[in-house]
Amino acid sequence: MTTHATAHHDDHHDDKPHGFLHRWVYSTNHKDIGTLYLIFAFIMVCVGAAFSGVIRTELMKPGLQFVQPYFFNEMTTMHGLVMIFGAIMPSFVGLANWMIPMMIGAPDMALPRMNNWSFWILPFAFFLLLSTLFIPGGAPAGGWTMYPPLSIQGGDSVALMVFSIHLMGISSIMGAINIIATILNMRAPGMDLLKMPVFVWSWLITAFLLIAVMPVLAGAVTMLLTDRYFGTSFFNAAGGGDPVMYQHIFWFFGHPEVYIMILPAFGIISEIVPTFSRKPLFGYQAMVYALASIAFLSFIVWGHHMFTVGMPLGGELYFMYATMLIAIPTGVKVFNWVSTMWGGSMTFEAPMLWAIAFIVLFTIGGFSGVMLALVPADFQYQDTYFVVAHFHYVLVTGALFAIIGAIYYWWPKWTGRMYNETWAKVHFWWSAVFVNVLFFPQHFLGLAGMPRRIPDYNVAFADWNLVSTIGAYGMYLTPFMFFFILWHSKKHGAPAAARAWEGAHGLEWTVPSPAPFHTFSTPPVIHDEDLAHGDVSH
């Protein structure tokens, strides 16, 4: 079928389209789109980090030194929106694009044209959002949670923010539908659902979460828009509405959203740990069921973000117990990773280091989450830096560390080159130290009562804030390190074997490195040892 194509390209083994426009803008190739997503996410990490630089610099000392309070609030809001919707989520979608077809033996994503759309909407969405920094009235400043009435006061950034969130929602919904269609319809013969790699499972479940809750967020921000511009009173007390209702709707989206940002990370860790422990994943089925039950529970615990709004006592107790229930399937996962390592012949290449750091530090975030789930304690912690510490442990040392580990892990497959292990270890240890210097003291600040989202604070909080800012400055070097390690590898790295890691199993390691432009055009014959999880008897 490709005879005419090969006839025209005299020397190429791949029939890649030529020219920037055709190769990238019109791309329907899952690998190229995956690359686009990852590059976009990297740029957004840098933008979001710059915003946090303003925040941490202002907070280095008590008093107002560098920025006005309103601008400070714009920075906290934009930092949250950019990191969540621009950095973490697109990175995971990029990894899904690259890896899912290769892991299940499919030639491409199920709906390649839609795949192109779901990526190319994103730059426009973020252009709208970031442009608010330059309009009269400034960027949104009411927090990433956009609680009314505060979020709909201020300038016309409200409208731009709402439209950009609509676009991001459309993009992630299309991406999610594509992933579901790929996994359900495109698996190679013999790749039963319960033989799929856990990364694929985690994305299947995440994609269902996405199509269930992104439309709810779209509805909530639409109501904000009509309240602001068209005289409705969904959340306006004067017109008979209720601002607390917004919080219910938002967190009905918001809590599943935080799991959207962690389930694919669970999947990644479940790939990396067995490889470098040279053992199959412990309790494969338990891992899959744990993912599913976390996803289910995530729909019924949203109230733990609202303990202080004045809920009936029964509601508080219900949300407290339901939230604590999530710790059980989460614990199952942590113990299974540890059991996978137990007695394995472990080595500590960079992906494994990031994965182990994930397990330890994410668990710290899980513990602070359980503390926050205790109603009487949460009245004290709500809206303090303790919450900030909690969600940065789960999102930075959780989601982001897993993403970095995944990039190191699959990089040889993508580029056909190894990275420099020494520098990767420097990158890791540098990050592991400074991320804790940055976020651990925020636990102390929160317990001592420092509120979040404030530009100035009591001198009593000065010391730990300075420590935290030093940690932040350390972290700002890491994107540069990462960039140069990958750049150097791309240019000068040693060639990678098809099975780049000795203990790696799974279909992606049966194709050459770098993976050719088209893989599995004919479905592969699956051998037992190609399955990622060894035990195929179940």
Q: Which residues are annotated as catalytic? A: 79, 108, 144, 171-172, 255, 257, 259, 270, 304-305, 330, 333, 452
Distance, CA of 180 to CA of 207 (rounded, Å)? 6
CB of 9 to another protein, least distance (A): 23
258, 295, 350, 357: residue in contact with ligand HEM (rule CB under 6 A): 258
Give me the sign of the Cα torsion angle 247, 253, 259, 260. negative
Q: Which residue in 86, 94, 351, 398 binds ligand HEM (CB under 6 A)?
A: 398
Interface with ligand HEM (CB under 6 A), residue from 27, 151, 330, 336: 330
Closer CB to another protein, 91 or 172, in the complex: 172
Which residue bears the tokens 């540890």? 338
Residues 6+ positions from 528 with CB-CB distance below 8 Å: 536
Task: Establish if 180 lies at the interface with another protein (CB under 8 A).
Answer: yes
CB-based burial label for 475 (10 Å; 0-12, 13-18, 19+): buried
Distance CA 489, CA 483 (A): 10
Shortest distance (Å) from residue 457 CB to ligand HEM: 18
Give the 3-state secondary structure of residue 384.
strand
Instruction: Examine residue 514 and say whether the peptide bond preceding it is cis (omega within 30 degrees of 0).
Output: yes
Minimal distance, residue 310 CB to another protein, in Å: 6
Give the integer Cα–Cα distance in Å for 261 and 403.
Answer: 11
Q: Specify whether the CB–CB gap between 238 and 327 falls below 8 A.
A: no
Distance CA 365, CA 395 (A): 9
Tell whether residue 218 is a contact of another protein (CB under 8 A). Answer: yes
Residues 6+ apart with CB under 8 A from 268: 95, 199, 202, 355, 402, 403, 405, 406, 409
H/E stretch holding 292: helix 284-297
Instruction: CB nearer to ligand HEM: give 245 or 498.
Output: 245
392 is a site residue for ligand HEM (CB under 6 A): no
The answer to whether 322 contacts another protein (rule: CB under 8 A) is no
330-336: list long-range contacts, CB under 8 Å, 24+ apart. 330/290, 330/294, 330/366, 332/283, 332/286, 332/287, 332/290, 333/266, 333/287, 333/290, 333/291, 334/359, 334/363, 334/366, 336/281, 336/282, 336/283, 336/286, 336/287, 336/290
- Exactly one of 158, 373, 404, 438 binds ligand HEM (CB under 6 A); that residue is 373
Q: Does 295 bind ligand HEM (CB under 6 A)?
A: no
Q: Out of Cu ion, another protein, ligand HEM, none, which partner does residue 274 contact, by CB within 5 to 8 A per kind? A: none
State which residue, 137 or 280, has the beta carbon closest to another protein: 137
Give the whole-angstrom CA distance, residue 31 versus residue 37.
10
418 scored as a contact of another protein (CB under 8 A): no
Which residues, numbered 250-279, are part of the site for another protein (CB under 8 A)?
252
Residue 238 is a binding residue for another protein (CB under 8 A): yes
Q: Does 390 bind Cu ion (CB under 5 A)?
A: no
Partner whose footprint covers residue 158, from Cu ion, ligand HEM, another protein, none (CB < 5 to 8 Å by kind): none
Give the span between the Cα atoms of 121 and 113, in whole angstroms. Answer: 13
**Cα 503 off chain centre by:** 26
Q: Which stretch binds ligand HEM (CB under 6 A): 192-200, 209-217, 368-376, 500-508?
A: 368-376
Among residue numbers 90 through 149, which ones bind another protein (CB under 8 A)? 110-111, 114
What residues between 508 and 537 interact with Cu ion by CB under 5 A?
A: none
What are 169's two structure tokens?
């929602």
Interface with another protein (CB under 8 A), residue from 46, 60, 181, 327:
181
Residues of the shown chain interacting with ligand HEM in the complex, contacts defined by CB under 6 A: 145, 258, 261-262, 304-305, 323, 326-327, 330, 366, 369-370, 372-373, 378, 381-382, 387, 390-391, 394-395, 398-399
Residues of the shown chain interacting with another protein in the complex, contacts defined by CB under 8 A: 110-111, 114, 173, 176-177, 180-181, 184-186, 211-220, 222-223, 231, 233-234, 236-240, 242, 245, 248-249, 252, 310, 312, 315
Residues of the shown chain interacting with Cu ion in the complex, contacts defined by CB under 5 A: 255
